[in-house]
Structure 1
Amino acid sequence: MDATDKVIVFHSLDDLKEAISVDVKSHDVLAQRYCVRFIILNNFDVFRELTKFLVLELGVEKFDLEKLAFGPDKTIDIDTLSDAVRNLKVSSIVTPFSELARFFKEDEFKGFFNDIILSEDIAHPQKRIYIPIIGLHNRFTDFLKSFGRIEESAPIWQYYTPKDDKVMVYVSKFKNYTIPDKLNICSLPTMRDWLSFWKKQAPKDKILCGASPILNRWPNAKPDSIFTFQSVDNSHKFITDFLEISLPIEYKEYELEYWDAMLQNIGKNTAQLFDFPSYVEDLFNRKTITANDILLLWAKDETLAYERWLLKAYALAYKGDELSGYMRDVLYEIDDFKIANTLFVNLTERIFYMTNAERLQNFDSRKSIMQSQCELFRTLVPEEHQLWVKNHIIEIAQKDDNLSQAKRLCTSVFDFEKILFLGWYVLMAEKDFGLSHLKDFYPDLAGYLTAYESVATKVTASWAADYLERFRRAKIVDNYTEELKEIVEERNASAESFYNWYYSFQNSHDLLNEIQNSQVYPIDKIYWVDGLGAEFIPFIHYLLENSQSNYEAILSQIARTTIPSNTHLNSFDVGNHLIFKLNALDELAHEGHYQKYTTLVAELETVKAVIHKILDENKVGKHTIAIVSDHGLSAMSRKCDSLKFDSNTKHEGRYVPLADDCTINSDIDFVVHENERDHKKYKVALRHQSLGAKPTHEVHGGATPEEVLVPFIVISNDDASKPLKYSVGPIEVKVPISDKKVAFKIIPEPQSAKAIFNGQEIALTRHGMQWEGFFPNATEGKYQITVIPFRGKPTQLEIEFFGMGFGSGLDLDDF
């Protein structure tokens, strides 16, 4: 007998029922000896109807397999199942047996059936154990073919309906999600759900099964007439096909981890209510996310790679109209979300890979993007990438006659760009990169180069302003220019000429004491900026005017240190709780060798940071603050041959301490000076040539104007202390040279007024409704005259002095 002969096939359910009824009463030896009856079916409706018949009409008890599991999502092993079947004491139907057995390995499958097919219960010859086998025809038939005692086993019945049930089972680790009803997919997240389902419901075409035992064992289920199994372990597929959530994100396999994170964050019971833009906005705790927010959120340390991935999709899908084409293109290409700087690097560099035509379309938007978050770009674009950009700009500039492309590739964000701007200004100021370009590209440098007469600064000696102008020009070209050398050789030709100007300026300490004692300005804080020379006075005024801090300079003048111009001899009492010392500028000067262009750029950044620090620390309340210094700095000594007079020099040869009984006298190259504070003698370099070795740093300690002259500035945010507002204008913009008298209208009327012309201070006198000044040194031509009313800001006016026009060779006698 083979398997085909052993299986009794019925063509109706009634016939099967009749056979079962007859078998119960049978006195056949084999029927009474072996109690297990296998019933092969292809339809779950028939299974449920048969179960009903057995229970209600034949009094058979149901044995639910899920009772054997040790938890709702635990499997049932072979031994437990075999023991349970053999230990049944009364007639029972085991349900749903096939929905457990189909996941057995082949050896387990055959072992189980070998174990129970010949189960005996001689004491109960009418006991029957019914085991429905649904959809396992091939596997069960294969078992029967290999079963050696098939002839002596109990009967095996089969009833097939004309149409098999067809069920697609999606096996997925993603479970407990609410699946849209319209998909007609039944979700069975646990093993208990899986086993219970087949007894209670008509099968659905599609089932989503998340039962852990099945996840591990479903590959054991061989193809059969009912079930088709398919694994769904891709979160993107699950989100789109099963939750039917449409997301504006192109699927890329290497981004699967982000889809996994997305699925974890979608509410399991509210997936159908999921709204992508709202989800992203809530994630970043924003009611909405603007185009300007994207870079800020992207750069935050706490922003996860997954969140950047979402931010990209959100920006491209919902903020596309707010984004520039350049931003959209770069964002679209971004595929690295783990490192924040990738986006910033790509925004910086992408334009260099474009054609000239494409660059023209993107210059402005790239610049706008980078300037909107300049600190982020400065921080997040690594130095090696900045160097790459710098080299490409230089390469383009070398082929670009008028710098047209090179200028537009610059954004004024990085320090190296400022170095380029400074170099272009030095080399091309007359043609392609003049002061107007500097104001656009590097306004801080333009602010540094502002004329002294354009700011309300008291300059005791008019030559000093001219000297500092020349010093700044020499500094930007990094050259000891003849025009600078000319003044220093005149003013510091000897000890006598030096002292003539040295004592004409007030000592900064004396000036501070005078102001504090007179209480003209109610100073409540003093900031001592170590190394801040008078060269930076116009720059400080520029920073104040552009700070939007409500602070204004109410007193500004050039003061002096004592010599040697070092910190020790010119320090302020930091033990005083009103005085705060800021060291950054002096530290910059001493920490490395001076570099052409680079060091000046760093100094401007440092002074800017110092002034902003002072303003930021005093935002709250009304304050009047003095900004003082102990000395200035000079980069010119490194450009001069050293005198090599002495090996016992200090501050890179700028001075030499002398013994108290030393009788040396001042010479053409140095002044012997008894310091006003410690009353010790020093030999101090008069000019830029150092007394010892040639310096490589910026230096101080000597007697040059830039080392000795320092700013004394009082600022206030108290309106009662601020400058008064005036309207100032010329009565006539053209004045005859024979008159040399210029009249101005100043409204409202000040207590007094003065003008600055070619560094000379000229008092103005009131005549009726106008103020007049006599300018004895005026010659023909156009001049800038600065008018400063009492407690007012300076106003710069252009006045033209013109002659009588006798240019034909005739003299006055001809008339």
Structure 2
Amino acid sequence: MLPFASVDELLAYLRSEGSRGERFATRFILVQGCGVWEELVRRLGVEVDRVVSLSDFCRGADVLPDIQLLISYLKEETRSCRSILLLPLAEYLRLDPECAEVIRRLAEWEVSGLRRIYVPLLASNEVFFQEMEQVTRYRMGLLPQPWSLKSEGNFDIVVAPFCPEFPTGQVARGIKQYLSLWEHSSVRKGWLVTSMAPWLPTRGWRGESNLRIYKSGFEYVRNATRWEELLEEWGSPSEWEWLASKVEECEDFDGVARRLLNVVDYDGDHLFALWNQFDEHQRWLVWLWSRKRSKPGTYLHEALKDNNSIDDFYRNVIMTIFTLPRSPSFSRERKELLRRLGVSVMPVEFWQRYDKLTEPLDRVAVLSGLSPEEKQQLVMYAGEFATNYAPGLWWEYLEVAFPELLWYLQPVATGDEFADSYFAVYNRCRLKDRADDELDQLITKWAREQLLWNYPARSDLLAKHRAAGARVVWVDAMGAEWVGLLTGILTRDAKVECEVTLTKACLPTTTPANQEWQDGESVERGLDDIAHHYDYHFPESFLSAMDMIERVGRKVLALLSEHPAIVVTSDHGLSRFASTSDAKVNAPEGAQVCPPGRYAVLHGGASVNDHTGLWVQDRDNAILLTHGRFKGGGPCRGEIHGGATPEEFLVPVIVIRKKSAEAQQVRFEVTSVTCLNPKGEGVLTVRCSRKTVSVQLQVAGQILPGESESGLVWSFRVKGLKAGKYTGKLYTGNQFLGEVSFEVVKGIVQKDLGI
């Protein structure tokens, strides 16, 4: 090998050597370091008769040069030339090292008219000598020695089927353009974008050169981000190329994800909360990052275990619950994940698995409450659970899946012992769609003791609030049964307080007899239409009524931004069991029964004694106090009104106000509890941040009165709660104060957190 210290020295030798008579024409110039490449190429081009560029032998923009065409060209088209410069052979061989045998062919190219072929090879000593060792004449010393020229400077080339969004260095789109760059200059840092990348051999070149071939975006991402466990099946080619185009130098996968998703670090809750704001590529990145960083033991981690494609992610989130042990935490996390993913309908596969479950609690645990079909199932199970199961077994699952149903099931305590007991039982029976013995006993007491006269008149209370400037909203047919749901909706953000008073409607409980609304007062209709619809079905119609109450709640909250106080009331309520009861009562003699049979008009306004205790006379009307109808009332379905059962006759007057700043600042803390005794009894102690006159705790279907000497520390005697986490609501009177969370474990109730 003939070494040269500079280009000048090499060219001086070239000029003198070129006139010698030699048998073989090719002179290889082994260049180490790309610092001298550009100067060498430029000055060699002046010394020769013709520069032969390999890019001219590419039959397309992104194909390798046709070497056979090159050989033919050298044989046929260079006869008039004494010397030529062939460029850039090494860059071609880096892409296709299997064709390195062309070096051997050129090495033994005999002189004819063409006396010299100069072939500079940059950073190719290794492959050059490997090939030349196979040439007998070279081993025997019969061929010209290669020339050598050294300088500084490395180059770094990436070959891939994609281009980064912000590439560093020069970008060549296609092999033809890439070779052309080397024919005129050196490429210290570059990116070759070629569709040929998947088929190019990945042989590495070391030393002062670094050419990396990535067959796919996936290969590049795995290598660049140093995530060795990454699998190609986790994304499509277009997804990998998108991500590869975004990767910046020296970024690990976490760094790429943080930057592209604009977050500080991985937080599954936060990322999936932003799911609907992300585009398809960002969602895939969230999914991919979750595979790497989701916390073991979480539902997300379990759902991702066998999930190899984001296309199956939704299915896995829906179905994984069937493979896991029953757990409120799994159910809670799954529901929130499904909600953020926008899942509102369960697939057929879900219902097929659901039907195979035999244990009611197992069924409720897999229901998210996000679809109408799931809500129907939850309604039908809730009544049975409330009747036959201890609250500790099912309450938390229902609280996860359908909290609004619990608000309905556990009405606000009004302070009226009978009404609170009655509506707790009535609402429970509504969810079963049938009355039970306990409800029959309560309605019998109501009728026997004529308790209806114990309540204040609605009109008197409304007059007082109107005088104080409150805005009155009427909800047609909203009886006291809906107080728990409506107040739960209104107070769920803890910025509103509600004061509930049960009042009596006018008898009979028909709309004409109770039209007390004044000009300018809105009347929200819908419940009555649902109740009397010819196609009434349970639980679909019941759920429609719940939706109606939800709409009322949203309207009231909107009005509260314009008025200091809103009063919600109703003309009358509705009775499901007066409609479904088979009991038929004889009307007073001569009375005219009004459809559907809940009251009758007495002939001539005469006073008639009721010896049955089933009805009461009000002016010239005989009005039933119990479930059932007067004979001759005609057919009915759905829900009815006109009678004087508590659900028809007792209507709420709910005063809604924004909480004062002082009230909003009230905080509660679980301070201490005692060990549960063998009967499952214990004491939960809660500290209030300011003095309160009275406090009640509603938790797991129970209403627990608080005991306190100071008004700051309150004790509640808990009973029948199984191990698990609970969230209870605190009330003073019937005003919502806030929530407190605690955990019950076997033998002790441990402090968790409070607000």
Q: TM-score range by the shorter chain?
A: 0.5 to 0.7
1:528-539 superposed matches below 5 A: 528-537=474-483
The answer to whether the 8 Å contact 1:565/1:707 transfers is no
Structure 2 CA distance for aligned equivalents of residues 137 and 367 of structure 1: 63
Q: Secondary structure, in 3 states, of the residue corresponding to 2:301?
A: helix
Q: In terms of Rg, which structure is larger?
A: 1
Question: Which of the residues 490, 496, 510 maps onto 1:565?
Answer: 510
Amino acid at match of 1:261: W
The answer to whether the 8 Å contact 2:218/2:240 transfers is yes
Give the corresponding residue for 1:556.
501
Question: Which of the residues 235, 242, 258 maps onto 1:261?
Answer: 242
The answer to whether the 8 Å contact 2:411/2:481 transfers is no
Structure 2 CA distance for aligned equivalents of residues 666 and 63 of structure 1: 128
Query: By how many angstroms is 1:545 displaced?
Result: 6.8
Is structure 2 residue 573 aligned with structure 1 residue 632? yes
Question: Which of the residues 151, 174, 179 maps onto 1:194?
Answer: 179
Give the corresponding residue for 2:531.
589
Query: By how many angstroms is 1:556 displaced?
Result: 0.8
1:90-489 superposed matches below 5 A: 103-104=65-66, 106=68, 108-109=69-70, 112=73, 116-117=77-78, 128=82, 130=84, 132=86, 154-155=113-114, 164=128, 171-174=159-162, 191=176, 194-197=179-182, 210=192, 232-241=214-223, 244-247=224-227, 250-253=230-233, 255=235, 256-266=237-247, 271-297=248-274, 300-318=275-293, 320=295, 324-338=297-311, 341-342=314-315, 344-345=317-318, 349-354=319-324, 359=325, 363-370=327-334, 375-376=339-340, 379-380=343-344, 382=346, 384=348, 387-388=351-352, 390-393=354-357, 395-397=358-360, 415=375, 418-419=378-379, 421-425=381-385, 428=388, 433-435=389-391, 437=393, 439-442=395-398, 448=408, 454-456=413-415, 471-472=426-427, 474-480=429-435
Amino acid at match of 1:419: V
Is structure 2 residue 733 aligned with structure 1 residue 793? yes
Amino acid at match of 2:476: D
The answer to whether the 8 Å contact 1:294/1:315 transfers is no
Give the corresponding residue for 1:698.
639
Structure 1 CA distance for aligned equivalents of residues 457 and 294 of structure 2: 60
Query: By how many angstroms is 1:551 displaced?
Result: 0.8
1:730-769 superposed matches below 5 A: none
Give the direction of change, closer, same or farther, for the CA distance of 1:653–1:379 in structure 2 (3 Å limit): farther
Structure 2 CA distance for aligned equivalents of residues 542 and 257 of structure 1: 48
Query: By how many angstroms is 1:262 displaced?
Result: 0.8
Give the corresponding residue for 1:513.
463
Query: By how many angstroms is 1:628 displaced?
Result: 0.7
Amino acid at match of 2:384: W
Give the direction of change, closer, same or farther, for the CA distance of 1:720–1:456 in structure 2 (3 Å limit): farther
Query: By how many angstroms is 1:512 displaced?
Result: 1.9
Q: Deviations over 1:723-758 (max 9, x none)?
A: xx9xxxxxxxxxxxxxxxxxxxxx9999xxxxxxxx
Query: By how many angstroms is 1:664 displaced?
Result: 10
Give the direction of change, closer, same or farther, for the CA distance of 1:666–1:374 in structure 2 (3 Å limit): farther
Q: CA RMSD in A?
A: 6.4
The answer to whether the 8 Å contact 2:564/2:657 transfers is yes
The answer to whether the 8 Å contact 1:363/1:409 transfers is no
Give the direction of change, closer, same or farther, for the CA distance of 1:540–1:438 in structure 2 (3 Å limit): farther
The answer to whether the 8 Å contact 1:42/1:159 transfers is yes
Question: Which of the residues 630, 648, 652 maps onto 1:707?
Answer: 648
Q: Deviations over 1:137-193 (max 9, x none)?
A: 9779999x9xxxx99x73566799998267999753345799999xxxx98667555
Identity %: 14
1:678-697 superposed matches below 5 A: 688-689=628-629, 691=632, 693-697=634-638
Q: Deviations over 1:542-573 (max 9, x none)?
A: 666765224131x512221454623x664565
Structure 2 CA distance for aligned equivalents of residues 484 and 650 of structure 1: 26
Structure 2 CA distance for aligned equivalents of residues 696 and 434 of structure 1: 33
Give the direction of change, closer, same or farther, for the CA distance of 1:562–1:792 in structure 2 (3 Å limit): same
Q: Secondary structure, in 3 states, of the residue corresponding to 1:617?
A: helix
Give the direction of change, closer, same or farther, for the CA distance of 1:644–1:128 in structure 2 (3 Å limit): farther
Structure 1 CA distance for aligned equivalents of residues 660 and 545 of structure 2: 31
Query: By how many angstroms is 1:304 displaced?
Result: 3.5
The answer to whether the 8 Å contact 2:217/2:240 transfers is yes
Q: Deviations over 1:640-683 (max 9, x none)?
A: 359799xxx9998368999xxx98999999999999xxxxx999
Structure 2 CA distance for aligned equivalents of residues 664 and 644 of structure 1: 20
Amino acid at match of 1:688: G
Q: Deviations over 1:319-355 (max 9, x none)?
A: 63xx53543232233333257734531xxx324335x
Where structure 1 has 5 or more consecutive residues not aligned to the other structure, the ranges are 1-11, 25-36, 70-74, 81-98, 120-126, 220-226, 398-402, 676-680, 726-746, 751-790, 796-815
Give the direction of change, closer, same or farther, for the CA distance of 1:275–1:582 in structure 2 (3 Å limit): farther
Give the direction of change, closer, same or farther, for the CA distance of 1:749–1:455 in structure 2 (3 Å limit): closer
Give the direction of change, closer, same or farther, for the CA distance of 1:533–1:526 in structure 2 (3 Å limit): same
Structure 2 CA distance for aligned equivalents of residues 629 and 188 of structure 1: 76
Give the corresponding residue for 1:33.
none
Q: Secondary structure, in 3 states, of the residue corresponding to 1:306?
A: helix
The answer to whether the 8 Å contact 1:171/1:209 transfers is yes
TM-score of the aligned structures, taking structure 1 as reference length? 0.55
Tell me the matched-pair count: 597
Give the direction of change, closer, same or farther, for the CA distance of 1:571–1:166 in structure 2 (3 Å limit): farther
